[in-house]
Structure 1
Amino acid sequence: ALLTGGGYAEFALAEEGSCLPVPAGVALEDAAGFPETMFTVWANVFDDAALKPGETFLVHGGTSGIGVTAIMLAKAWGAKAIATASSDEKLKAILALGADAAFNYATDKWEDEIVKLGGVDVVLDMTGGDFVARNMEALNFKGRHVSIAVLRGATAEINMFQIMRKQLRLSGSTIKARSFDEKARLAAAIEKNVWPLVEAGKLRARTDAVFPLAEAAAAHRRMEEGRHIGKILLKTGN
């Protein structure tokens, strides 16, 4: 289920429309890592930016929970996927997920390399700051840029003429602030379009680590250290 908060507990309340069935063949523990990332990726990349088969997609932080889901779902959808990360080890993990290309954002002039590959049509951006202008360099004509976080800063200097010349579309959103009706619509779309891909084995859970609820602080430390590849889960009970 997609919660509005209060998930660090043995019991939590969720709206009926924000709940999804466990996909056939998927363990409950793995399924628990799906809702937050699936809602985020589906709402922004497919519902908003309308990524199509044959187009090319870029996500930064390709080994994060959202990054992993975005890469695998884009590929399962028939699109090309490009991702960035901060180390060569993570780049290898990104390519192992099926990404078509991966770049080290700490050392590479990744926007130039992406342009050489033909550019991208959709960017899912969790960085903000100086990366926004660089994303725009990599975007093709009528490209779509969706912002969902601002890890590198909440302000950005961009070239408005570039937006007009390329006919770019920049948008942003959060999931939890949406109405329950909107979340229910997204849940129905995910169950219809994404769950069959999961059940067919084209999209799989990528759980990095599972911590007991009592060790939530350790789970946060692992996330803050940036060593994880995929979702970090908290488990209640025995």
Structure 2
Amino acid sequence: MKAIRVTGSALSWEDSEGPGELPAGHVEIDVVWTAVNRADLMQRAGVYPPPPGASEILGLEVSGRIAAVGAGVRGFEPGEEVCALLTGGGYATRVIVPAVQVLPVPKGFTLEKAAAVPEVFATAWLNLYQEAAIKPGERVLLHAGGSGLGTAVIQLATAFGNPVFATAGDATKLEICRNLGASGVWNRKDGSFVDAVKAWGGVDMVLDPVGGSYIAEDQKVLNVDGRIVLIGLLGGRSAQVDLGLMLVKRHRLIGSTLRSRTVADKGRVMQELHRHVWPLLAAGQIEPLIDSTWPIDQADEAMAYVAENKNTGKVLLNVAS
């Protein structure tokens, strides 16, 4: 097979050793599309190594066709078009993945469109409806609203009756957030979001990929029993927390990652997506927002594009036509 190799800071698309023997309960996929996620940038920089036993190859999601089915797997056949959530290995022509992390392509979707679904919608569902356990009517503050994840969160939360206030650093991105369903927006370049979110009515949950100084600001806009779900550290790993406010208002600060969870945990998330989100995707009620597509041998340029925050929605890599 071929795969992206990371040597120092350089990427190269070259021949690579295959994914190995197909274990029971797994499927092998001929990859057609994969996607760039910030975790890929962090892994490449050496600050986010894959969990023990995971592939060293970048890539946390793919779409493609089933190449082979391991013992004990039911419901998949060679040639079937699927998309999958990975722990690594997506920047390659073939990948082996536990079958519970694989789903059929949503009805009416191309493989290109399906590649933009697994990671962002799994992350959105996990953090909104499992970690924060938000109920219909509860309100969400979302940072980095123009990201691939952000555009998924806005649509998903809105579809399930949870109003969204989105922040971003670009007026065009904020307009897209509004078009996707956000009922409140704020440009972070205009200063603190606190007064604007309070005027909007406050929130019951914050989805925060920033951390750092944002945590103290998040606390100021949280209603009683509010939850902050921290999913990234773009603003730094140290923060001030007002413990008095946390105590009096019964706030919760929850750290959450998807990649390091068990196969069983990821399988539960994917089955929840299949049950609750796949029908909305098939009906066109929600859909992944794709910013741009790049050939796999231009992965370096695509990753630089994401690193510079130029994308609104997902950036995809075409592995094979």
Asked if residue 235 in structure 1 is aligned to residue 318 in structure 2, the reply is yes
Aligned pair 1:95/2:178, yes or no? Answer: yes
Deviations 1:124-162 (A, max 9, x none): 110000000101111111011101100000110110000
The answer to whether structure 1 residue 17 and structure 2 residue 100 are counterparts is yes
1:131 aligns with 2:214: yes
Query: 1:165 Cα shift?
Result: 1.0
- Give the aligned residue type for 2:211: G
- TM-score, normalized by length of structure 2? 0.73
- The residue aligned with 1:225 is 308
CA distance in 2, matches of 1:235, 1:134: 40
**How many residues matched?**
238
Question: In the TM superposition, what whole-angstrom CA distance separates every residue of 1:197-227 from its partner, at most 9, and x where no partner exists?
Answer: 1122211121001111000011111101211
1:208 corresponds to which residue?
A: 291
Alignment map for 1:66-215 (pairs within 5 Å): 66-215=149-298
Matched residue type, 1:171: I
CA distance in 1, matches of 2:237, 2:191: 23
Letter aligned with residue 138 of structure 2: E
Separation (CA, whole Å) in 2 of partners of 1:214 and 1:21? 27
Cα deviation code 1:48-85 (max 9, x no counterpart): 10122211111100010111100110011111011100
Cα distance in 2 between the residues matched to 1:132 and 1:14: 35
Q: Is the 8 A contact 2:206 2:229 kept in 1?
A: yes
Unaligned runs of 5+ in 1: none
Instruction: Find the counterpart in structure 1 of residue 146 from structure 2.
Output: 63
CA RMSD of aligned residues (A): 1.0
Hey, which of these two has a bigger chunk of strand by percent? 2
Structure 1 CA distance, aligned partners of 2:283 and 2:252? 33
Per chain length, whose mean CA-contact separation is higher, i.e. which structure has more relative contact order (CA < 8 Å, sep 6+)?
A: 1
Q: Which is greater in Rg?
A: 2
Q: TM-score, normalised by structure 1?
A: 0.97
> What residue ranges of structure 2 are gaps of 5+ in the alignment?
1-83
Aligned-pair identity in percent equals 39
Provide the C-alpha distance between the structure 1 equivalents of 2:110 and 2:206, rounded to a whole number of angstroms. 31
Higher helix share: 1
What's the offset of the Cα at 1:109?
A: 2.4
